[in-house]
Amino acid sequence: MHPGFGLIAAVNFLTGSSRQPGDCASFDHVGLVENNLNEDNVAWRGGLNWKLTSDALLYANITKGYKAGGFPTLPAIVAEQYKGIPQESVLAYEAGFKLSALDHRLTVDGAAFYYDYRGKQLVGYQVVPFFGPVPGLVSIPKSKVQGAELTVTMVPIEGLRITAGGTFVESKVLTNPINPTGPFGNIGSFAGQAFPFTPRWQGVVDTEYRFPVSATKHIYVGASATARSSTYSTLLSGLASVSSQEQLLKTAGYAVADLRAGLETDDGAWRIEVWGRNVTNTYYDITKSKTSDVVYGFAGMPATYGITLRYSYGR
181-232 pLDDT tens trace:
888 888 889 999 999 999 999 999 999 999 999 989 999 999 999 999 999 9
Q: What is the pLDDT of residues 48-66, one digit of tens each?
A: 999 999 999 999 999 999 9
- Asked whether residue 158 falls in the same domain as residue 126, the answer is yes
Q: Are residues 254 and 241 in the same domain?
A: yes
Q: Is the pTM for the entire model greater than 0.75?
A: yes
Nearest 5°: phi and psi at 237? -75, -15
Look at the chain and report how many structural domains it folds into. Answer: 2
pLDDT at 184: 86
Is the domain of 217 the same as that of 87? yes
If asked whether residues 129 and 69 sit together in one domain, one would say: yes
- DSSP-derived pairing of the beta strands 88-101 and 106-128: antiparallel
**Closest by CA position to 203, among listed 147, 139, 248, 267:** 147
Residue 116 pLDDT grade (very low, low, confident, very high; cuts 50, 70, 90): very high
Residues listed for the chain: 315
Quick one: 171 and 235 in the same domain?
yes
Give the per-residue pLDDT at 206. 98
Whether residue 210 sits in one domain with residue 87 = yes
Q: How confident is the model at residue 29 (pLDDT cuts 50, 70, 90)?
A: very low
Q: How far, in Å, CA of 177 to CA of 175, rounded?
A: 7
Q: Are residues 144 and 286 in the same domain?
A: yes
Considering the domain architecture, whether residues 218 and 306 belong to the same structural domain is answered as: yes
Q: Are 67 and 121 in contact (CB under 8 A)?
A: yes
Q: pLDDT class for 312, splitting at 50, 70, 90?
A: confident
Residues 24 and 149 both lie in one domain = no
* Same-domain status, 58 and 193: yes
Range with the largest mean pLDDT of 25-29, 78-82, 301-305 = 301-305
**23 and 153 both lie in a single domain:** no
Domain ranges, residue 150: 33-311
Grade residue 70 by pLDDT with cuts at 50, 70 and 90: confident
CA distance 119 to 139: 5
- Pairwise CA distance, residues 269 & 108, whole Å: 31
- CATH, residue 144: 2.40.170.20
Q: How far is residue 167's CA from residue 93's CA, in Å, rounded to a whole number?
A: 16
E strands present in the chain: 44-53, 56-67, 88-101, 106-128, 132-154, 160-175, 201-212, 217-228, 231-232, 250-251, 254-265, 270-277, 285-291, 294-299, 304-311
Centre a 10 Å sphere on the Cβ of residue 183 and count the other Cβ atoms it contains.
23
CA distance 61 to 33: 42
Look at residue 244 in the predicted model and tell me its pLDDT.
82
Distances (CA, A) of 111 to 51, 56, 157: 16, 14, 27
User: What is the average per-residue pLDDT within 115-123?
Assistant: 93
